[in-house]
Amino acid sequence: MLGDALGGILGPAAAVGLSPFPVVAVILVLGSPRARTSGPTFALGWVVGLTAISAVAVLLTGDVDEPGSPAATGIGWVELGLGTGLLVLALRKWRTRRRSGEEVVLPGWMATVESTGPGRALGLGLVLAAGNPKNLALTVGAAASIGQAGVTGPDLVVAVACYVVLGSITVLGAVLYHLALAERATAALTSVKEFMTANNDAIVMVILVVFGLSLVGDGLSYLG
């Protein structure tokens, strides 16, 4: 049963971890003068935020392993709605995508990240993890997979912990890499940031379409 739960969370966790915004944000934080304190606090905020929404999602999807139950029907409608929302966001991203030759423009809030201190970095990590609609949708999908596997007790804790760790692997990896190599890590992290920024539209569209369709399919299976 734990194996089924872990198999169900791999895709959503990978999608959360590969999202360009947190990766670019943490690299910008690691380029700040107070990187050695701001980097770890950003990662802490991210982990806490992702853990919080994971715990709430698991509580809301606890009885989905019982076909036809109110919980299963409810989560079916929720997943159907969230999946449709992701597909709408994918369409919007396609329509507003950066055209060839256009300059890459970072969101306004990212322009001040490099001057952020530890306290603001903590809040930024928390908001990016818990306040991102895509993360919420993916986490509900992961929680439904955990609930459908029927895991409880220690296995439930392990499943949620694995989801949080996998969803945080890029953020945590960047911070640990910087702490270990300091200035020598700058060039590699900058290259990753430039790649993620330049390909942000394509990466996000693929994630939204793949997991939007997955959530729609899962929702329909609960309602069928």
Of 135, 200, 170, whose CA–CA distance to 23 is shortest?
A: 170
In the chain, % helix, strand, coil (3-state, to 5) comes to 85, 0, 15
Give the chain's domain count.
1
What are the tens digits of pLDDT across the range 94-135?
A: 887 777 666 666 666 666 676 778 888 899 899 989 988 888
69 to 60, 82, 107: CA distances (angstroms) = 13, 20, 43
Collapsing DSSP states into helix, strand and coil, what is residue 19? coil
Tokens describing residue 159: 């499943």
**How far is it, in rounded angstroms, from Cα 84 to Cα 102?**
30
Spans of the chain below 50 pLDDT: none
pLDDT at 4: 79
Collapsing DSSP states into helix, strand and coil, what is residue 67? coil
What are the tens digits of pLDDT across the range 5-25?
A: 788 888 889 888 888 888 888
Domain that holds residue 205: 2-223
pLDDT at 69: 65
Q: Where are the beta strands (DSSP E) in 117-194?
A: none
pLDDT at 62: 66
